[in-house]
Structure 1
Amino acid sequence: MTSLADLQAAYNTLLSGYAPVASSGQANDAFEVYVMTLALRAAREEGASVSFESASGTHNPSPLRFRTAPGRIYSPANDYSHARIDFPQGLSFEAHVGVYVEGLAGVLHECDIAVIEAAEAQFCRRNWVHPKKADVLMTAECKFYTGKLGIALGREFLGTTADLGSDGRFMLSNSDGRSVDRVLAHHKRKRHFGLTPLNADSEVQVVAQFREVFRNARAKRR
């Protein structure tokens, strides 16, 4: 069983050299930060540089503070941190924990992890609006469970991706989700179950999927 301490050790290792993370002490929140660090690892392996900023513009703030509940990217209530991902050819993104994204129908969706075009994220903070799906490269729904995942979670993810699109949209969990896995496979949705820092192969598989998303984004800019 993956513990809170396991998750904290994993993301602290991946964030070594940046800043300590201010943790809420909840495993589900730690799992989201852990998944974000895997996305950053994928970006670095594809040639990006990674740094951190706060909502107010502080470069490499300390400690790093991430949302523990869904929020607005432009909210001034707390000076939350986000990662900045910069590729050599000028392609730049921000990686956020727990922000709302506006779908095709104008409905807001909570995204546990959202990798957003940097220009769009900055525009949203200046103008107090939510990021649009077209400018969100990647999202991840993160489910940290002690038991098996129910089929309702799979149906919910299908509904979300019907509005946000399925390209670059992931469902990730530490738990077993045989029924969910089957229905998402049928609908060709990206997912990975059994993700844990205690299993290096599971991390490699998820990082590989994230790398493909970044690689495709870079290819479209050539």
Structure 2
Amino acid sequence: MSASKPNITDLTTAYDSILAAHAPVHHSNHAHDAYEVYLFSLVIKAAQAEGATVSFEDNRNQKNPSTLIFRSSPATIYSSANAFTHALISFASAPILEVHVGVYVQGLAGVIHECDVAVIDQNEARFCRAHGVHPKKNKVVIAVECKLYENNLGIKIGREFIGMTADLGKENRFLFSNSSGASLEKILVHHKRHRLMGVTPLDHDREEQAIAKLRDAFRDYIAKNR
């Protein structure tokens, strides 16, 4: 599969169609940041498809902020230097979840990893903000690694994802990209890692496949909490 790279307008139009009903989104000038927000919006769409109620707040405890502002570089979940937005996902029969862009998560032996998009137990997220610590891996329900590339992906990215998921766990950890790479796909298949290539608003079928994978993850979460 050759890379099909969406531009800023493609990405902002796609995520605005999902998020702007709640509040206007502060747009980044960088495509890779917009791609993370786009995949964040697919997480929201998947949760809604499974019956979730979605609202937003910022890390200063402001409910329903007038503008949705997302991180453009990784940061701690507990920093309040900027009023970054996260989503609240509420299912009828399961604890509330938060969805964040660009936060650090703690793996084995205290090793810290960046999660491009992370769905985290709300009680854990609140504890972390109150005590200045990173979320623990077992409280991260879904993690999405987002790769927007002009060219095909190299095997190095696959090895990095395998290493990260060896520490954070494999269940409901996804690598989504607009691009692909034969060697990368082989190594991820061999190590049984979840991935989907060609995910862009330019390919409706792939976009729906990504949403389906995320819906499965939310169904798992709901089933475990019945």
TM range (shorter): over 0.9
Q: In the alignment, does 2:168 pair up with 1:164?
A: yes
Aligned with residue 78 of structure 1, among 78, 82, 98: 82
Aligned with residue 113 of structure 2, among 109, 113, 119: 109
- Spell out structure 1 runs of 4+ moving beyond 3 A: none
Return the letter of the residue paired with 1:96.
H
Return the letter of the residue paired with 2:120.
I
1:131 aligned residue? 135
Q: CA deviation at 1:220?
A: 0.9
Return the letter of the residue paired with 2:205.
D
Return the letter of the residue paired with 1:47.
G
Q: Distance in 2 between matches of 1:6 and 1:200?
A: 12
Q: CA deviation at 1:181?
A: 1.1
Gap regions ≥5 residues in structure 1:
none
Aligned ranges 1:33-72 → 2 under 5 Å: 33-72=37-76
Listed one character per residue, the Cα deviations across residues 11-60 of structure 1 (whole Å, up to 9, x for unaligned) are: 00011311111122100000000001101111011110011000011111
Q: Secondary structure at the match of 1:137?
A: strand
Q: Distance in 1 between matches of 2:32 and 2:182?
A: 20
Aligned with residue 29 of structure 1, among 21, 30, 33: 33
Aligned with residue 193 of structure 1, among 197, 211, 218: 197
Listed one character per residue, the Cα deviations across residues 97-149 of structure 1 (whole Å, up to 9, x for unaligned) are: 00000002210000000000011001100111000001000101101001111
Q: Distance in 2 between matches of 1:91 and 1:127?
A: 21
Aligned length, in residue pairs = 222
Aligned with residue 180 of structure 2, among 176, 181, 185: 176
Q: Distance in 1 between matches of 2:198 and 2:186?
A: 14
Q: CA deviation at 1:79?
A: 1.0
By relative contact order (CA 8 Å, sep 6+), the higher-ranking structure is 2
Q: Secondary structure at the match of 1:89?
A: coil
Q: Distance in 2 between matches of 1:217 and 1:197?
A: 26
Gap regions ≥5 residues in structure 2:
none
Aligned with residue 206 of structure 1, among 202, 205, 210: 210
